[in-house]
Amino acid sequence: MLTFKTYNRKKTVIYSCVMVAMLVCLMFRLVYIMVYESEYLGRKADEIHERERYIKAARGDITDVNGNVIATNKTVCTISVIHSQIENPQKVIDLLSEKLSMDRTRVKELVEKVSVREKIKSNCPKSIGDEIREYNLSGVKVDEDYKRYYPYDDMASKVLGFTGADNQGIIGLEVQYEKYLKGKDGYLLTETDAGGIELENVAEKRVESVKGNTLRTGLDINIQMYAQQAAGKVYKMKKANYVSIIVMNVNNGEIKAMTNVPEYNLNSPYELTDEFMCEGEKEQDLLNRMWRNQCINDTYEPGSTFKVITATAGLETGAVKLSDTFSCPGYKMVEDRKIRCHKTTGHGSETFVQATMNSCNPVFIEVGLRVGVDRFYEYLGKLGILSKTGVDLPGEASVIIHKKENVGQVELATMSFGQSFQITPLQLLRAVSAVVNGGKLITPHFGVAVSDCEGKLIKQFDYKETGGVIRKETVDDMRYVLEKVVSEGGGKNAIVEGYNIGGKTATSQKLPRNSGKYISSFIGFAPASSPEVIAICIIDEPEGVYYGGTIAAPVIKELYENILPYMNIDKSY
Protein backbone atom coordinates (compact mmCIF):
# COMPACT_ATOMS: atom_id res chain seq x y z
CA MET A 1 0.00 0.00 0.00
CA LEU A 2 2.84 2.36 0.80
CA THR A 3 4.55 1.48 -2.42
CA PHE A 4 1.42 2.29 -4.44
CA LYS A 5 1.03 5.72 -2.81
CA THR A 6 4.71 6.53 -3.44
CA TYR A 7 4.32 5.56 -7.08
CA ASN A 8 1.27 7.86 -7.52
CA ARG A 9 3.07 10.73 -5.83
CA LYS A 10 6.06 10.36 -8.21
CA LYS A 11 3.71 10.21 -11.16
CA THR A 12 1.93 13.39 -10.05
CA VAL A 13 5.24 15.21 -9.61
CA ILE A 14 6.39 14.19 -13.10
CA TYR A 15 3.14 15.32 -14.70
CA SER A 16 3.24 18.57 -12.79
CA CYS A 17 6.82 19.25 -13.92
CA VAL A 18 5.91 18.52 -17.52
CA MET A 19 2.94 20.87 -17.35
CA VAL A 20 5.01 23.60 -15.73
CA ALA A 21 7.70 23.15 -18.40
CA MET A 22 5.07 23.36 -21.13
CA LEU A 23 3.57 26.49 -19.58
CA VAL A 24 7.04 28.08 -19.33
CA CYS A 25 7.76 27.23 -22.99
CA LEU A 26 4.38 28.60 -24.00
CA MET A 27 5.02 31.78 -22.02
CA PHE A 28 8.43 32.24 -23.67
CA ARG A 29 6.89 31.59 -27.07
CA LEU A 30 4.17 34.18 -26.45
CA VAL A 31 6.78 36.71 -25.32
CA TYR A 32 8.88 35.95 -28.41
CA ILE A 33 5.89 36.38 -30.72
CA MET A 34 4.62 39.56 -29.07
CA VAL A 35 8.02 41.24 -28.74
CA TYR A 36 10.37 39.92 -31.39
CA GLU A 37 8.00 38.93 -34.19
CA SER A 38 5.32 41.56 -33.73
CA GLU A 39 6.59 43.72 -36.58
CA TYR A 40 6.89 40.82 -39.03
CA LEU A 41 3.47 39.38 -38.15
CA GLY A 42 1.93 42.83 -38.36
CA ARG A 43 3.22 43.13 -41.89
CA LYS A 44 1.84 39.69 -42.78
CA ALA A 45 -1.55 40.68 -41.37
CA ASP A 46 -1.51 43.84 -43.45
CA GLU A 47 -0.65 41.83 -46.55
CA ILE A 48 -3.66 39.59 -45.98
CA HIS A 49 -5.94 42.61 -45.78
CA GLU A 50 -4.24 44.67 -48.50
CA ARG A 51 -4.37 44.31 -52.26
CA GLU A 52 -1.31 45.66 -54.08
CA ARG A 53 -1.50 47.04 -57.63
CA TYR A 54 1.64 48.20 -59.38
CA ILE A 55 1.81 51.61 -61.02
CA LYS A 56 4.12 51.17 -64.00
CA ALA A 57 6.85 53.73 -64.43
CA ALA A 58 7.06 55.68 -67.66
CA ARG A 59 10.16 54.72 -69.63
CA GLY A 60 12.75 57.43 -70.19
CA ASP A 61 12.82 59.29 -73.51
CA ILE A 62 15.54 58.92 -76.14
CA THR A 63 16.50 62.13 -77.94
CA ASP A 64 18.79 63.09 -80.77
CA VAL A 65 21.77 65.39 -80.29
CA ASN A 66 19.53 68.47 -80.59
CA GLY A 67 16.97 67.30 -78.03
CA ASN A 68 14.37 66.05 -80.52
CA VAL A 69 12.47 63.13 -78.99
CA ILE A 70 12.86 59.95 -81.05
CA ALA A 71 11.46 57.46 -78.51
CA THR A 72 8.84 58.27 -75.87
CA ASN A 73 5.63 56.87 -74.28
CA LYS A 74 1.89 56.84 -74.89
CA THR A 75 -0.60 56.40 -72.07
CA VAL A 76 -2.60 53.20 -72.45
CA CYS A 77 -4.83 51.18 -70.11
CA THR A 78 -4.90 47.66 -68.69
CA ILE A 79 -8.39 46.28 -68.05
CA SER A 80 -8.76 43.60 -65.39
CA VAL A 81 -11.41 42.11 -63.10
CA ILE A 82 -11.48 41.00 -59.45
CA HIS A 83 -13.76 37.96 -59.27
CA SER A 84 -14.80 38.37 -55.62
CA GLN A 85 -16.03 41.93 -56.22
CA ILE A 86 -18.14 41.38 -59.34
CA GLU A 87 -21.84 41.93 -58.60
CA ASN A 88 -23.30 41.64 -62.10
CA PRO A 89 -21.19 39.22 -64.19
CA GLN A 90 -23.49 39.38 -67.22
CA LYS A 91 -23.25 43.14 -67.47
CA VAL A 92 -19.45 43.03 -67.09
CA ILE A 93 -19.14 40.42 -69.86
CA ASP A 94 -21.38 42.41 -72.22
CA LEU A 95 -19.56 45.69 -71.62
CA LEU A 96 -16.00 44.37 -71.92
CA SER A 97 -16.63 42.23 -75.00
CA GLU A 98 -18.22 45.23 -76.74
CA LYS A 99 -15.74 47.94 -75.72
CA LEU A 100 -12.62 45.80 -76.14
CA SER A 101 -13.82 44.15 -79.39
CA MET A 102 -13.07 40.75 -77.90
CA ASP A 103 -14.74 37.37 -78.39
CA ARG A 104 -17.59 37.13 -75.87
CA THR A 105 -16.80 33.51 -74.99
CA ARG A 106 -13.22 34.45 -74.16
CA VAL A 107 -14.29 37.40 -72.00
CA LYS A 108 -16.84 35.19 -70.19
CA GLU A 109 -14.11 32.64 -69.46
CA LEU A 110 -11.81 35.30 -67.96
CA VAL A 111 -14.54 37.05 -65.94
CA GLU A 112 -15.82 33.81 -64.39
CA LYS A 113 -12.35 32.52 -63.57
CA VAL A 114 -11.84 32.39 -59.80
CA SER A 115 -8.64 34.32 -59.16
CA VAL A 116 -7.41 37.28 -57.14
CA ARG A 117 -7.13 39.43 -60.25
CA GLU A 118 -7.56 38.50 -63.91
CA LYS A 119 -6.20 40.65 -66.77
CA ILE A 120 -8.66 41.00 -69.65
CA LYS A 121 -6.64 43.17 -72.02
CA SER A 122 -3.55 45.40 -71.89
CA ASN A 123 -2.35 48.27 -74.08
CA CYS A 124 -5.89 49.56 -74.67
CA PRO A 125 -6.22 53.13 -75.94
CA LYS A 126 -6.78 55.56 -73.08
CA SER A 127 -10.08 56.71 -74.58
CA ILE A 128 -11.53 53.18 -74.30
CA GLY A 129 -10.22 52.83 -70.76
CA ASP A 130 -11.94 56.10 -69.83
CA GLU A 131 -15.23 54.89 -71.34
CA ILE A 132 -15.15 51.65 -69.32
CA ARG A 133 -14.25 53.53 -66.14
CA GLU A 134 -17.33 55.75 -66.52
CA TYR A 135 -19.67 52.73 -66.12
CA ASN A 136 -18.28 52.26 -62.58
CA LEU A 137 -18.96 48.52 -62.52
CA SER A 138 -17.98 46.65 -59.35
CA GLY A 139 -14.99 44.38 -59.86
CA VAL A 140 -13.78 46.06 -63.07
CA LYS A 141 -10.43 47.82 -62.75
CA VAL A 142 -8.90 50.24 -65.26
CA ASP A 143 -5.22 50.94 -64.63
CA GLU A 144 -3.23 53.41 -66.65
CA ASP A 145 -0.02 52.11 -68.18
CA TYR A 146 2.57 53.17 -70.74
CA LYS A 147 3.35 51.90 -74.21
CA ARG A 148 6.54 52.79 -76.09
CA TYR A 149 5.96 55.19 -78.95
CA TYR A 150 8.31 56.22 -81.77
CA PRO A 151 7.30 59.52 -83.40
CA TYR A 152 9.27 58.84 -86.60
CA ASP A 153 8.01 55.25 -87.15
CA ASP A 154 10.84 53.53 -89.07
CA MET A 155 13.62 56.06 -88.59
CA ALA A 156 16.81 54.37 -87.33
CA SER A 157 14.71 51.35 -86.39
CA LYS A 158 17.68 48.96 -86.35
CA VAL A 159 19.55 51.33 -84.05
CA LEU A 160 16.81 52.29 -81.59
CA GLY A 161 15.28 48.83 -81.23
CA PHE A 162 12.01 48.37 -79.34
CA THR A 163 10.50 47.16 -76.06
CA GLY A 164 8.51 44.11 -74.98
CA ALA A 165 5.03 43.75 -73.52
CA ASP A 166 6.18 44.89 -70.06
CA ASN A 167 8.11 47.82 -71.55
CA GLN A 168 11.59 46.31 -71.13
CA GLY A 169 14.19 46.79 -73.88
CA ILE A 170 14.46 43.98 -76.42
CA ILE A 171 17.12 45.05 -78.94
CA GLY A 172 19.10 48.14 -79.97
CA LEU A 173 19.65 51.16 -77.76
CA GLU A 174 16.50 50.26 -75.82
CA VAL A 175 18.20 47.21 -74.32
CA GLN A 176 21.74 48.64 -74.27
CA TYR A 177 20.67 51.48 -71.95
CA GLU A 178 17.92 49.58 -70.11
CA LYS A 179 19.23 50.42 -66.63
CA TYR A 180 18.93 54.16 -67.33
CA LEU A 181 15.64 54.09 -69.26
CA LYS A 182 13.47 51.64 -67.26
CA GLY A 183 12.33 53.86 -64.34
CA LYS A 184 10.98 52.65 -60.98
CA ASP A 185 7.46 51.25 -60.56
CA GLY A 186 5.11 52.59 -57.89
CA TYR A 187 2.21 50.79 -56.23
CA LEU A 188 -1.28 51.26 -54.83
CA LEU A 189 -2.45 49.45 -51.64
CA THR A 190 -6.18 49.05 -50.89
CA GLU A 191 -7.68 47.55 -47.68
CA THR A 192 -9.85 44.40 -48.03
CA ASP A 193 -11.85 42.17 -45.69
CA ALA A 194 -11.12 38.46 -45.13
CA GLY A 195 -13.02 37.63 -48.34
CA GLY A 196 -10.90 39.95 -50.45
CA ILE A 197 -13.61 42.60 -50.85
CA GLU A 198 -12.24 46.13 -50.90
CA LEU A 199 -13.43 48.19 -47.94
CA GLU A 200 -15.20 51.44 -48.64
CA ASN A 201 -14.15 54.77 -47.13
CA VAL A 202 -10.68 53.46 -46.27
CA ALA A 203 -7.72 55.54 -47.40
CA GLU A 204 -5.45 54.03 -50.06
CA LYS A 205 -1.69 53.92 -49.70
CA ARG A 206 -0.04 55.20 -52.88
CA VAL A 207 3.64 55.31 -53.83
CA GLU A 208 4.14 57.13 -57.12
CA SER A 209 6.28 55.66 -59.89
CA VAL A 210 9.46 57.40 -61.03
CA LYS A 211 9.97 58.00 -64.75
CA GLY A 212 13.14 56.63 -66.34
CA ASN A 213 16.03 58.85 -67.32
CA THR A 214 16.44 60.54 -70.69
CA LEU A 215 19.14 59.24 -73.03
CA ARG A 216 20.67 61.84 -75.35
CA THR A 217 22.34 60.34 -78.40
CA GLY A 218 24.65 61.70 -81.09
CA LEU A 219 22.06 60.91 -83.76
CA ASP A 220 20.76 63.87 -85.72
CA ILE A 221 17.25 63.28 -87.10
CA ASN A 222 17.87 65.56 -90.08
CA ILE A 223 21.07 63.75 -91.11
CA GLN A 224 19.31 60.43 -90.44
CA MET A 225 16.46 61.50 -92.74
CA TYR A 226 18.85 62.47 -95.53
CA ALA A 227 20.75 59.17 -95.15
CA GLN A 228 17.58 57.09 -95.09
CA GLN A 229 16.13 58.85 -98.12
CA ALA A 230 19.36 58.43 -100.11
CA ALA A 231 19.60 54.75 -99.16
CA GLY A 232 15.94 54.12 -99.98
CA LYS A 233 16.30 55.75 -103.38
CA VAL A 234 19.22 53.56 -104.53
CA TYR A 235 17.67 50.49 -102.86
CA LYS A 236 14.61 50.76 -105.11
CA MET A 237 16.53 51.84 -108.21
CA LYS A 238 19.04 48.95 -108.04
CA LYS A 239 16.63 46.40 -106.49
CA ALA A 240 19.31 45.64 -103.94
CA ASN A 241 19.24 43.14 -101.10
CA TYR A 242 19.87 45.99 -98.67
CA VAL A 243 21.59 49.39 -98.51
CA SER A 244 23.51 50.60 -95.46
CA ILE A 245 24.80 54.10 -94.70
CA ILE A 246 26.74 55.30 -91.65
CA VAL A 247 27.57 58.94 -90.99
CA MET A 248 30.03 59.67 -88.19
CA ASN A 249 31.96 62.52 -86.64
CA VAL A 250 35.44 61.59 -87.81
CA ASN A 251 37.16 63.12 -84.78
CA ASN A 252 35.20 61.81 -81.78
CA GLY A 253 33.18 58.82 -83.05
CA GLU A 254 29.67 60.24 -82.54
CA ILE A 255 27.42 58.45 -85.01
CA LYS A 256 25.14 61.00 -86.66
CA ALA A 257 23.15 58.53 -88.75
CA MET A 258 22.94 54.80 -89.34
CA THR A 259 20.42 53.30 -91.69
CA ASN A 260 19.86 49.82 -93.08
CA VAL A 261 17.18 49.91 -95.76
CA PRO A 262 14.68 48.30 -95.67
CA GLU A 263 13.88 49.51 -92.16
CA TYR A 264 10.75 48.47 -90.23
CA ASN A 265 8.04 50.31 -88.26
CA LEU A 266 9.07 50.56 -84.60
CA ASN A 267 5.44 51.04 -83.54
CA SER A 268 4.55 47.59 -84.97
CA PRO A 269 7.85 45.68 -84.82
CA TYR A 270 6.24 42.25 -85.10
CA GLU A 271 4.59 42.99 -88.45
CA LEU A 272 6.76 41.75 -91.31
CA THR A 273 7.38 44.30 -94.06
CA ASP A 274 6.76 43.29 -97.68
CA GLU A 275 10.48 42.71 -98.27
CA PHE A 276 10.57 39.99 -95.62
CA MET A 277 7.38 38.13 -96.54
CA CYS A 278 8.52 34.65 -97.50
CA GLU A 279 6.49 31.44 -97.50
CA GLY A 280 8.08 28.34 -96.10
CA GLU A 281 10.23 30.10 -93.50
CA LYS A 282 9.52 30.45 -89.81
CA GLU A 283 8.07 33.81 -88.87
CA GLN A 284 10.60 34.29 -86.05
CA ASP A 285 13.50 33.74 -88.47
CA LEU A 286 12.03 36.34 -90.82
CA LEU A 287 11.56 38.80 -87.94
CA ASN A 288 15.16 38.31 -86.80
CA ARG A 289 16.33 39.03 -90.33
CA MET A 290 14.13 42.14 -90.51
CA TRP A 291 15.52 43.47 -87.22
CA ARG A 292 19.17 42.75 -88.15
CA ASN A 293 21.56 45.72 -88.24
CA GLN A 294 23.92 44.98 -91.13
CA CYS A 295 26.29 47.79 -90.13
CA ILE A 296 27.42 45.96 -87.00
CA ASN A 297 25.87 42.46 -87.02
CA ASP A 298 27.15 41.36 -90.45
CA THR A 299 30.62 41.09 -91.96
CA TYR A 300 31.60 41.44 -95.61
CA GLU A 301 34.69 41.52 -97.82
CA PRO A 302 35.48 45.25 -98.09
CA GLY A 303 37.26 45.08 -101.43
CA SER A 304 39.11 48.15 -102.67
CA THR A 305 38.05 50.46 -99.82
CA PHE A 306 40.49 48.40 -97.75
CA LYS A 307 43.34 49.66 -99.94
CA VAL A 308 43.27 52.72 -97.68
CA ILE A 309 44.62 50.49 -94.90
CA THR A 310 47.22 48.79 -97.14
CA ALA A 311 48.42 52.17 -98.41
CA THR A 312 48.70 53.49 -94.86
CA ALA A 313 50.75 50.47 -93.76
CA GLY A 314 52.99 50.88 -96.82
CA LEU A 315 53.64 54.58 -96.18
CA GLU A 316 54.13 54.05 -92.43
CA THR A 317 56.70 51.28 -92.87
CA GLY A 318 58.51 52.97 -95.76
CA ALA A 319 57.60 50.13 -98.09
CA VAL A 320 56.30 52.66 -100.60
CA LYS A 321 56.44 56.42 -101.33
CA LEU A 322 53.94 58.52 -103.23
CA SER A 323 56.43 59.00 -106.05
CA ASP A 324 57.24 55.30 -106.50
CA THR A 325 56.58 53.99 -110.00
CA PHE A 326 54.99 50.63 -110.84
CA SER A 327 54.04 48.74 -113.97
CA CYS A 328 50.68 46.98 -114.27
CA PRO A 329 50.37 44.43 -117.12
CA GLY A 330 46.84 43.51 -115.99
CA TYR A 331 47.84 40.81 -113.52
CA LYS A 332 50.45 39.77 -110.97
CA MET A 333 51.90 36.34 -110.37
CA VAL A 334 52.12 35.37 -106.70
CA GLU A 335 53.74 31.98 -106.30
CA ASP A 336 51.71 29.84 -108.73
CA ARG A 337 48.64 32.11 -108.66
CA LYS A 338 47.78 34.62 -111.39
CA ILE A 339 45.83 37.45 -109.74
CA ARG A 340 44.18 39.80 -112.22
CA CYS A 341 43.57 43.55 -112.14
CA HIS A 342 40.04 44.79 -112.76
CA LYS A 343 41.50 46.33 -115.93
CA THR A 344 42.60 43.15 -117.67
CA THR A 345 44.67 45.04 -120.29
CA GLY A 346 46.66 46.67 -117.47
CA HIS A 347 47.31 50.24 -116.40
CA GLY A 348 50.90 50.31 -117.67
CA SER A 349 53.37 52.57 -115.91
CA GLU A 350 51.89 54.51 -112.96
CA THR A 351 52.94 56.17 -109.74
CA PHE A 352 51.57 55.02 -106.40
CA VAL A 353 49.18 58.00 -106.36
CA GLN A 354 47.90 57.04 -109.81
CA ALA A 355 47.64 53.39 -108.80
CA THR A 356 45.41 54.40 -105.87
CA MET A 357 43.31 56.58 -108.15
CA ASN A 358 43.02 53.64 -110.57
CA SER A 359 42.44 51.13 -107.73
CA CYS A 360 45.08 48.89 -109.29
CA ASN A 361 45.22 45.45 -107.66
CA PRO A 362 48.73 44.41 -108.82
CA VAL A 363 50.28 47.54 -107.29
CA PHE A 364 48.58 46.97 -103.94
CA ILE A 365 49.61 43.33 -104.00
CA GLU A 366 53.20 44.52 -104.43
CA VAL A 367 52.85 47.00 -101.56
CA GLY A 368 51.35 44.33 -99.30
CA LEU A 369 54.17 41.92 -100.07
CA ARG A 370 56.75 44.62 -99.37
CA VAL A 371 55.15 45.37 -95.99
CA GLY A 372 55.19 41.69 -95.04
CA VAL A 373 52.88 39.63 -92.85
CA ASP A 374 54.17 40.76 -89.43
CA ARG A 375 54.05 44.49 -90.14
CA PHE A 376 50.77 44.17 -92.07
CA TYR A 377 49.10 42.59 -89.04
CA GLU A 378 50.73 45.16 -86.77
CA TYR A 379 48.90 47.95 -88.58
CA LEU A 380 45.67 45.97 -88.75
CA GLY A 381 45.88 45.95 -84.96
CA LYS A 382 46.81 49.62 -84.65
CA LEU A 383 43.87 50.66 -86.83
CA GLY A 384 41.37 48.50 -84.91
CA ILE A 385 40.70 45.94 -87.62
CA LEU A 386 41.53 42.97 -85.38
CA SER A 387 39.15 43.98 -82.57
CA LYS A 388 35.54 45.02 -82.15
CA THR A 389 34.86 48.75 -82.28
CA GLY A 390 33.15 48.80 -78.86
CA VAL A 391 30.06 50.51 -80.27
CA ASP A 392 27.23 50.80 -77.72
CA LEU A 393 24.88 48.36 -79.47
CA PRO A 394 24.45 44.66 -78.70
CA GLY A 395 25.50 41.91 -81.09
CA GLU A 396 28.57 43.44 -82.72
CA ALA A 397 30.30 40.93 -85.00
CA SER A 398 34.04 40.23 -84.99
CA VAL A 399 36.50 40.22 -87.88
CA ILE A 400 36.85 36.93 -89.76
CA ILE A 401 40.49 36.72 -90.77
CA HIS A 402 43.38 34.29 -91.18
CA LYS A 403 45.57 33.56 -88.19
CA LYS A 404 48.86 35.35 -88.79
CA GLU A 405 50.84 32.13 -88.68
CA ASN A 406 48.69 30.71 -91.50
CA VAL A 407 49.16 33.66 -93.88
CA GLY A 408 51.35 32.92 -96.90
CA GLN A 409 52.20 35.07 -99.92
CA VAL A 410 48.90 34.38 -101.70
CA GLU A 411 46.81 35.16 -98.61
CA LEU A 412 48.74 38.37 -97.99
CA ALA A 413 48.33 39.35 -101.64
CA THR A 414 44.54 38.95 -101.63
CA MET A 415 44.17 40.65 -98.24
CA SER A 416 46.11 43.64 -99.60
CA PHE A 417 43.23 44.54 -101.92
CA GLY A 418 40.42 43.61 -99.50
CA GLN A 419 39.62 39.95 -100.21
CA SER A 420 39.82 36.64 -98.28
CA PHE A 421 38.71 38.15 -94.95
CA GLN A 422 35.61 39.89 -93.62
CA ILE A 423 34.96 42.89 -91.36
CA THR A 424 31.93 44.97 -90.41
CA PRO A 425 31.23 48.29 -92.16
CA LEU A 426 31.72 50.09 -88.83
CA GLN A 427 35.17 48.53 -88.35
CA LEU A 428 36.28 49.87 -91.72
CA LEU A 429 34.80 53.30 -91.02
CA ARG A 430 36.66 53.46 -87.71
CA ALA A 431 39.97 52.42 -89.30
CA VAL A 432 39.74 54.97 -92.12
CA SER A 433 38.78 57.65 -89.57
CA ALA A 434 42.08 57.02 -87.76
CA VAL A 435 43.94 57.36 -91.05
CA VAL A 436 42.50 60.80 -91.89
CA ASN A 437 41.71 62.41 -88.50
CA GLY A 438 45.33 62.81 -87.46
CA GLY A 439 46.08 59.26 -86.31
CA LYS A 440 43.54 58.89 -83.47
CA LEU A 441 41.69 55.59 -83.04
CA ILE A 442 38.22 56.46 -81.75
CA THR A 443 35.27 54.48 -80.39
CA PRO A 444 32.09 54.81 -82.50
CA HIS A 445 29.10 55.47 -80.26
CA PHE A 446 25.52 56.71 -79.97
CA GLY A 447 25.07 57.50 -76.27
CA VAL A 448 26.20 60.98 -75.24
CA ALA A 449 24.63 61.67 -71.84
CA VAL A 450 21.86 60.69 -69.42
CA SER A 451 19.70 63.17 -67.51
CA ASP A 452 16.70 62.80 -65.21
CA CYS A 453 13.15 63.79 -66.14
CA GLU A 454 13.80 67.33 -64.90
CA GLY A 455 16.83 67.74 -67.14
CA LYS A 456 19.52 67.37 -64.48
CA LEU A 457 22.65 65.71 -65.88
CA ILE A 458 23.29 62.30 -64.33
CA LYS A 459 26.06 60.90 -66.50
CA GLN A 460 28.23 62.07 -69.38
CA PHE A 461 29.64 59.12 -71.33
CA ASP A 462 33.35 58.91 -72.08
CA TYR A 463 34.83 56.69 -74.77
CA LYS A 464 38.30 55.32 -75.28
CA GLU A 465 40.61 57.12 -77.73
CA THR A 466 44.13 56.07 -78.70
CA GLY A 467 46.27 58.77 -80.24
CA GLY A 468 49.34 58.53 -82.43
CA VAL A 469 48.51 55.24 -84.17
CA ILE A 470 50.07 56.66 -87.38
CA ARG A 471 52.43 59.56 -88.13
CA LYS A 472 51.26 63.03 -89.18
CA GLU A 473 53.22 62.71 -92.45
CA THR A 474 51.27 59.59 -93.33
CA VAL A 475 47.98 61.33 -92.45
CA ASP A 476 48.83 64.24 -94.78
CA ASP A 477 49.83 61.89 -97.60
CA MET A 478 46.66 59.81 -97.28
CA ARG A 479 44.41 62.87 -97.23
CA TYR A 480 46.14 64.08 -100.41
CA VAL A 481 45.91 60.70 -102.18
CA LEU A 482 42.26 60.09 -101.25
CA GLU A 483 41.28 63.59 -102.35
CA LYS A 484 42.90 62.77 -105.72
CA VAL A 485 40.78 59.61 -105.96
CA VAL A 486 37.64 61.76 -105.88
CA SER A 487 38.80 64.79 -107.83
CA GLU A 488 40.56 62.89 -110.65
CA GLY A 489 40.19 59.12 -110.11
CA GLY A 490 37.54 56.44 -109.73
CA GLY A 491 35.56 58.43 -107.16
CA LYS A 492 34.63 61.33 -109.45
CA ASN A 493 30.93 60.69 -108.96
CA ALA A 494 31.31 61.81 -105.34
CA ILE A 495 32.45 65.34 -106.21
CA VAL A 496 30.40 67.97 -104.34
CA GLU A 497 30.60 71.48 -105.73
CA GLY A 498 32.47 73.82 -103.40
CA TYR A 499 33.91 71.05 -101.21
CA ASN A 500 37.07 68.95 -101.34
CA ILE A 501 36.03 65.36 -100.75
CA GLY A 502 38.35 62.44 -100.06
CA GLY A 503 37.33 58.84 -100.51
CA LYS A 504 37.71 55.38 -102.02
CA THR A 505 35.43 53.16 -104.08
CA ALA A 506 35.05 49.37 -103.98
CA THR A 507 33.36 46.61 -105.94
CA SER A 508 33.76 43.25 -104.22
CA GLN A 509 32.53 39.96 -105.61
CA LYS A 510 30.59 37.82 -103.16
CA LEU A 511 31.34 34.19 -102.47
CA PRO A 512 31.22 31.96 -104.38
CA ARG A 513 33.20 34.03 -106.90
CA ASN A 514 31.16 32.78 -109.85
CA SER A 515 27.83 33.77 -108.26
CA GLY A 516 27.62 37.01 -110.19
CA LYS A 517 26.69 38.86 -106.99
CA TYR A 518 28.54 41.96 -105.85
CA ILE A 519 28.77 44.48 -103.02
CA SER A 520 29.27 48.07 -104.18
CA SER A 521 30.60 50.59 -101.68
CA PHE A 522 32.15 54.00 -101.20
CA ILE A 523 33.72 55.61 -98.17
CA GLY A 524 34.22 59.38 -98.16
CA PHE A 525 35.17 62.20 -95.79
CA ALA A 526 34.93 66.00 -95.86
CA PRO A 527 36.61 68.42 -96.00
CA ALA A 528 39.58 66.46 -97.36
CA SER A 529 42.22 68.76 -95.86
CA SER A 530 40.66 68.90 -92.37
CA PRO A 531 37.97 66.19 -92.03
CA GLU A 532 34.91 66.69 -89.84
CA VAL A 533 32.57 64.00 -91.12
CA ILE A 534 33.00 60.57 -92.67
CA ALA A 535 30.40 58.32 -94.29
CA ILE A 536 30.17 54.89 -95.89
CA CYS A 537 27.56 53.49 -98.27
CA ILE A 538 27.21 49.75 -98.95
CA ILE A 539 24.86 48.37 -101.62
CA ASP A 540 24.38 44.61 -101.37
CA GLU A 541 23.64 42.69 -104.59
CA PRO A 542 22.57 45.55 -106.88
CA GLU A 543 20.99 44.64 -110.21
CA GLY A 544 22.55 45.85 -113.44
CA VAL A 545 25.61 48.09 -113.13
CA TYR A 546 27.36 47.24 -109.87
CA TYR A 547 30.56 49.31 -109.78
CA GLY A 548 31.05 51.22 -106.51
CA GLY A 549 32.27 54.35 -108.27
CA THR A 550 29.18 54.33 -110.49
CA ILE A 551 26.37 53.63 -108.01
CA ALA A 552 27.68 54.04 -104.42
CA ALA A 553 29.75 57.22 -104.82
CA PRO A 554 26.72 59.24 -106.09
CA VAL A 555 24.80 58.25 -102.92
CA ILE A 556 27.45 59.88 -100.70
CA LYS A 557 27.56 62.85 -103.08
CA GLU A 558 23.79 63.37 -102.66
CA LEU A 559 24.09 62.91 -98.91
CA TYR A 560 26.93 65.43 -98.58
CA GLU A 561 25.16 67.98 -100.76
CA ASN A 562 22.44 68.01 -98.12
CA ILE A 563 24.28 67.61 -94.85
CA LEU A 564 27.50 69.61 -95.31
CA PRO A 565 25.67 72.99 -95.49
CA TYR A 566 23.37 71.80 -92.66
CA MET A 567 26.44 71.04 -90.51
CA ASN A 568 27.80 74.54 -91.24
CA ILE A 569 30.92 73.14 -92.89
CA ASP A 570 32.39 75.93 -94.98
CA LYS A 571 33.03 75.46 -98.67
CA SER A 572 36.65 75.12 -99.76
CA TYR A 573 36.17 76.96 -103.05
Q: Which residues are catalytic?
A: 304
Residue type, 162: F
User: Which residues are CB-contacts of 227 (< 8 A; sequence separation ≥ 6)?
Assistant: 245, 247, 257, 258, 259, 535, 559
Q: How far apart are CA 221 and CA 152, in angstroms?
A: 9
Specify the 3-state DSSP secondary structure of 340.
strand
Residues found in the chain: 573
At residue 500, φ and ψ (nearest 5 deg) are -90, 115
Comparing CA positions, the residue from 531, 544, 545 lying closest to residue 248 is 531
Pairing of strands 325-328, 62-63: unpaired
Q: How far apart are CA 274 and CA 504, in angstroms?
A: 34
Write the DSSP string, 26-79.
Answer: HHHHHHIIIIISHHHHHHHHHHHTEEEEEEPPPPPPEE-TTS-EEEEEEEEEEE
Q: Which is it for the CA torsion 558, 564, 566, 570, positive or negative?
A: negative
Pairing of strands 214-217, 62-63: parallel
Q: How far apart are CA 262 and CA 137, in angstroms?
A: 47
Q: Are 181 and 213 in contact (CB under 8 A)?
A: yes
Q: Are 311 and 355 in contact (CB under 8 A)?
A: no
Q: Are 146 and 73 in contact (CB under 8 A)?
A: yes
Residue type, 231: A
Q: How far apart are CA 86 and CA 537, in angstroms?
A: 61
